[in-house]
């Protein structure tokens, strides 16, 4: 059997699930015929949908599919029963992506997608949408250097050591995460692949020297934060006021507790970073494990006060 791409399976579910939500139940043969799938493929995709939902991925936030002999039933997750309230930015993004999809698919103005998009302009017109272009002048220079493997000298500030070091790097890939741009690079100071944040480069100059492509290390296939083997796993309990931590940072596990708090396991690269995070979260975050970090928030707060005393 030919392996189907994940994108095709997800695209199919985005069509099948609303169809099934509307009917509440359907026969397997009816669904297979409607969506042009054989029974085995259909059932495999339906089982995949049971892993779909929203954080914290508790049972009431997941899609529930029940299959009994030849019948399929579905129960909507709670997210689909709440009124949808989009921010201006979300409405603008949804409209832009939807209109692009209409152009690709060649769908007519009478399609369900076109009908849904027609309801969005009032949402998007309530306030102006600001489109921010990257303003860091280093960005274009680094992109040019990455294309030619030119060596660049930078002064780089580390918030962990609070020191600035001068180092030669070869920019290899630039990418954005949230409000910050990052540069995957070969760092001659360490002799390894390193990730640098552009706004922490306090100075940058081109050297006119170039690295041999064969001498450069491989970088991860996908841009993002890659954790080393010596990173620690820390378990936090987050009250409502600190649950933004689970949304902002990569997590290993998120679990909703009966108390309403959230248990989060995440990678921590160094103690100083964790200390600053705990200070920002205040009393809404508690370290569960490892125990050596139980008093880290208080220690970090004292160090910060001493610095400004």
pLDDT tens sequence across 8-36: 787 788 788 888 888 888 899 998 888 88
Q: Please answer whether residues 117 and 103 qualify as being in contact, where contact means their C-beta atoms are separated by less than 8 angstroms.
A: no
Q: Has residue 58 got a pLDDT over 70? A: no
Q: Please answer whether residues 171 and 152 qualify as being in contact, where contact means their C-beta atoms are separated by less than 8 angstroms.
A: yes
Model pLDDT, residue 124: 47
Q: Does 249 fall in a domain?
A: yes
Of all residues in the chain, the percent with pLDDT exceeding 70 is: 75
Write the DSSP string, 148-201: HTEEEEEEEEETTTTEEEEEEEEEEEEEEETTEEEEEEEETTTTEEEEEEGGGE
For the chain, give the mean pLDDT: 79
Low-confidence winner among 65-74, 78-87, 108-117, 225-234 (lowest mean pLDDT): 78-87
Domain count, the chain: 4
Q: Does 1 fall in a domain?
A: no
Same domain, 119 and 145: no
Give the CATH number, domain containing residue 76.
1.10.10.10
Q: Count Cβ atoms below 10 Å from residue 15 Cβ, excluding itself.
A: 12
Higher pLDDT, residue 180 or 128: 180
Same domain, 150 and 209: yes
Same domain, 119 and 169: no
Same domain, 248 and 188: no
Cα separation values, 199 from 161, 228, 248, Å: 16, 23, 19
Give the CATH number, domain containing residue 146.
2.30.30
Mean pLDDT of 245-256: 79
pLDDT tens, position by position, 210-228: 999 888 888 776 666 665 5
Q: Has residue 75 got a pLDDT over 90? A: no
Range of the domain at 299: 232-308
Beta bridge partners of 187: 169, 192
Phi-psi map region of 204: left, alpha, beta (phi>0 left; psi -120 to 50 alpha)? beta
Model pLDDT, residue 9: 81
Low-confidence winner among 44-53, 149-158, 194-203 (lowest mean pLDDT): 44-53
Same domain, 77 and 11: yes
Which phi and psi (to 5°) does residue 222 adopt? Answer: -115, 140
Same domain, 160 and 209: yes
Model's pTM, two decimal places? 0.42
Same domain, 20 and 49: yes
Same domain, 264 and 292: yes
Q: Does 220 fall in a domain?
A: no
Starting at the edge strand found earlier in the chain, the sheet holding 150-158 runs 192-197, 180-187, 163-177, 150-158, 201-210
**Shortest CA distance to 145 belongs to which of 175, 182, 170, 176?**
170
DSSP state of 222: S
Model pLDDT, residue 288: 92
């Amino acid at each position: 059997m030919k392996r189907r791409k994940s994108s095709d399976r997800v695209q199919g579910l985005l069509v099948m699930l609303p169809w099934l939500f509307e009917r509440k139940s359907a026969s397997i043969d009816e669904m297979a015929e409607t969506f042009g799938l054989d029974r085995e493929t259909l059932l495999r995709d339906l089982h995949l949908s049971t892993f779909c939902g929203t954080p914290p991925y508790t049972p009431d936030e997941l899609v529930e599919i029940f299959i009994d002999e030849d019948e399929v039933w579905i129960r909507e997750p709670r997210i689909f029963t709440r009124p949808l309230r989009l921010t201006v930015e979300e409405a603008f993004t949804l409209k832009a992506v939807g209109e692009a999809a209409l152009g690709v698919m060649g769908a007519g103005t009478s399609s369900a997608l076109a009908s849904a998009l027609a309801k969005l302009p009032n949402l998007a017109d309530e306030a102006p949408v600001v489109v921010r272009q990257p303003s860091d002048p280093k960005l274009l220079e680094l992109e040019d250097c990455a294309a030619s493997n030119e060596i660049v000298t930078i002064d780089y500030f580390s918030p962990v050591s609070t020191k600035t070091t001068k180092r030669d790097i070869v920019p290899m890939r630039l990418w954005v995460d949230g409000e910050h741009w990052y540069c995957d690079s070969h760092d001659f100071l360490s002799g390894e692949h390193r990730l640098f944040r552009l706004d922490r480069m306090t100075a940058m100059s081109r050297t006119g020297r170039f690295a041999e492509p064969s001498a450069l290390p491989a970088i991860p296939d996908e841009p993002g934060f890659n954790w080393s083997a010596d990173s620690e796993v820390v378990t936090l309990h987050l009250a409502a006021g600190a649950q933004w931590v689970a949304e902002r940072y990569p997590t290993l596990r998120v679990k909703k507790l009966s108390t309403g708090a959230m248990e989060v396991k995440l990678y921590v690269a160094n103690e100083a970073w964790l200390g600053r995070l705990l200070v920002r979260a205040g009393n809404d975050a508690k370290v569960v494990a490892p125990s050596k970090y139980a008093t880290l928030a208080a220690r970090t707060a004292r160090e910060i006060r001493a610095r400004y005393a």
